[in-house]
Amino acid sequence: MSEIPGTLSHWLKNQSLVRFSSGTTELEQVAYSNTVVTPWVGPRLKVSKRCNVTTAALGQSLTYQIEIVNTGNRAAMIRVVDPLSLETALLPNSVLRDGIPLPGVSPTQGLPPAEVAPGAVLTYHFQVVIVRVPGNLTLLNQAEVKYEFVTTDSRTVNGTEKSNVVEVRIETSRLEVSLQVDRSNTFAGDILMYTVLVSNPGFAAATGAVLTVRLPQGAIFIPASVTINDMFAPQVTPDAGIDLGDIGPGNVIRVQYRVQVTQVTDSQAPDQLSSEAVLKYITAGKQEVVYSNVVTLIIVEPQISVVKTVSPAITTPGDTARYHITVSNKSNYAVDAKLQDVLPAALVFVEGSLSWNGVKRPGTNPNIGINLGTLTARSELHIQFEAQVENEVAAAEISTQHSYVNRAALLYTFRLPDSRTVQRRLISNEAVLEVRLPVIQVHVEVFPSIVEQGGTVTFNVSVSNTGSLPARVQLGNILPQGAKWVGQEGGQMQLNIPEYSTPRYLHIGELGAGSEKEFAYLVQLAPEQTGILQGNLTALYTYEWNAQRRSGETRSNQYTILVEAQDE
């Protein structure tokens, strides 16, 4: 069947043929029928669609044109339906038919019917705006025309014609943000390098890009550590926002900065560091926000504690105190540890007294350090030893200090999963050992300091107890060599000395803690003595502690007397 061309006139020509062969010959023969010509009646619609642009960006408006041409010989009543893609939205009242507005109509629901006469051209226009970026970055659209016409014998015929598919490529400036860090595990005090990659994989530039990274709790930014594409930017900080400006298609910007993990001080501190980057930029006049992936680091920080106690908490010189140190590992990480406990000068470690979880460890000394080996996870170690308070050193020191404060130091190391080794030093609590004893002090002054041979001098004496226990005190060496006791001259304390006797000791009696006694006595120097006389008074005292009597001795300051020979 073929068509005979003619202006608005269509004819269908049809002719049949028969192929055969006779018995007298093997040649194939053809016989043709007559030609039948049938007139063709009806509309002939051609639907063309196009867009005003071939590429567009998010937020941009598009203008579509649908042109319908009737090259047939009958008029057709048409109705245009154009299902818009989900990534676009119709601009209200933008539909035009041959330049005439069609308010309130939508191509998706179907435009009002219209007649297209033979040889006529009908044109529609409408506008849409791109509201989303399709995943394949392409908008596809096709119009459909439903029509009907009446034949010459009054029959109604329906039909459908579709337009070509219109393709619009989306120029996107949808930026991508990636956050990275150079470690997967960290520890308190560690320095981390973060890297943010901002890329534009689309076809349009983004403007006004600002990158912000909220610092994780438990980390502080290291000032002047920001670099942008390997160039230092010391004036910016990631949490305040970093201005990246315009980012063209295919461009990648690398931002790096450093943070330091803060010291973990208690069990409530975070055991993870999480961080996320936020990028704001403008595209097609609209601000967009993009979030990066979340980067999480594990903080490896063993929970080690050192607790020290002393028993008894109150003692006196010559007694022994027992120290107890508990080292606990409450975490899931093993550590290698060494303990050192340097005792105060007045405390002497008792050799052979150190035990470790109840087992004696001869040869170990806390002053030089104890190698504890590996403390496994969830383990506890108990160390005990004894120390004795020295008599001489303690008495001298406790005149101004009534207790010894001591701490143990634990040096331990642990290994991170990335093979890095970290060393920590931990100090225990204070173990306070209070020392009680009397501290007797004697002060003497002699007047006059210059006398003639055989003259008399006055000794002004004060005896005080600055300690914490009462004591019975007596003074010795009260007279220079060869001198005679004359008698008491005054003072708050009354001395009981028989008349005409020269005592060797002065009995002060009981001197309470914090008390003082003063007195004066007169001494006649030996007639033959000349030159310089020097001496000290000696205080001998006794006191009780835990039902035991103890004794001590101290000396006064040195006095000096210049004895001049008498003139003949």
pLDDT at 404: 87
DSSP letter at 369? Answer: B
Q: Which amino acid is at 87?
A: E
Identify whether residues 161 and 185 lie together within a single domain: no
Identify whether residues 318 and 429 lie together within a single domain: yes
d(CA 174, CA 198): 11
pLDDT tens sequence across 451-500: 998 899 999 999 999 888 899 999 999 999 889 988 888 777 778 777 77
pLDDT at 46: 93
DSSP secondary structure string, 466-486? Answer: -SSS-EEEEEE--S-TT-EEE
Identify whether residues 315 and 423 lie together within a single domain: yes
Range of the domain at 107: 45-171
Identify whether residues 30 and 104 lie together within a single domain: no
Query: Which tokens hold the place of 28?
Result: 């194939």
Identify whether residues 484 and 538 lie together within a single domain: yes
pLDDT at 36: 62
Closest CA to 517 of 444, 559, 476, 461: 461
pLDDT at 322: 96
Give the sign of the dihedral formed by CA 448, CA 450, CA 456, CA 460. Answer: positive
564 sits in which H/E element: strand 559-564
Q: Which is it for strands 185-186 and 295-299: parallel, antiparallel or unpaired?
A: parallel
Q: End of a domain among 140, 171, 202? A: 171
Q: Which residues of the chain have pLDDT under 70?
A: 1-15, 20, 22-27, 32, 34, 36-40, 172, 203, 263-270, 284, 392-401, 567-568
Identify whether residues 164 and 185 lie together within a single domain: no
Q: End of a domain among 129, 145, 171? A: 171
Q: Are 447 and 460 in contact (CB under 8 A)?
A: yes
d(CA 180, CA 254): 11
Residues 6 or more apart whose CB falls under 8 angstroms from that of 325 comprise 306, 307, 308, 339, 341, 382, 383, 384, 408, 428
Identify whether residues 163 and 190 lie together within a single domain: no
d(CA 459, CA 518): 11
Q: End of a domain among 392, 408, 435? A: 435
The CATH number that applies at residue 100 is: 2.60.40.740
Identify whether residues 379 and 276 lie together within a single domain: no
Into how many domains does the chain fold?
A: 5
- List of E strands, 284-430: 286-291, 295-299, 304-311, 314-315, 320-329, 335-340, 347-349, 355-356, 359-360, 370-375, 379-389, 403-406, 409-415, 421-427
The CATH number that applies at residue 482 is: 2.60.40.1530
pLDDT at 3: 45
Identify whether residues 388 and 455 lie together within a single domain: no
pLDDT at 2: 41
Q: How many CA atoms lie within 13 A of 491 on its CB side?
A: 21
In three-state secondary structure terms, 512 is: coil
Closest CA to 484 of 531, 521, 517: 521
pLDDT at 287: 86
Is this structure's pTM higher than 0.85?
A: no
Phi then psi dihedrals of residue 413, to 5 deg: -130, 150
Closest CA to 288 of 204, 173, 179: 173
Identify whether residues 50 and 63 lie together within a single domain: yes
Identify whether residues 194 and 288 lie together within a single domain: yes
Identify whether residues 319 and 225 lie together within a single domain: no
CA distance from start to end of the chain: 177
d(CA 356, CA 380): 11
Residues 6 or more apart whose CB falls under 8 angstroms from that of 473 comprise 440, 463, 465, 508, 509, 510, 511, 539, 540, 541
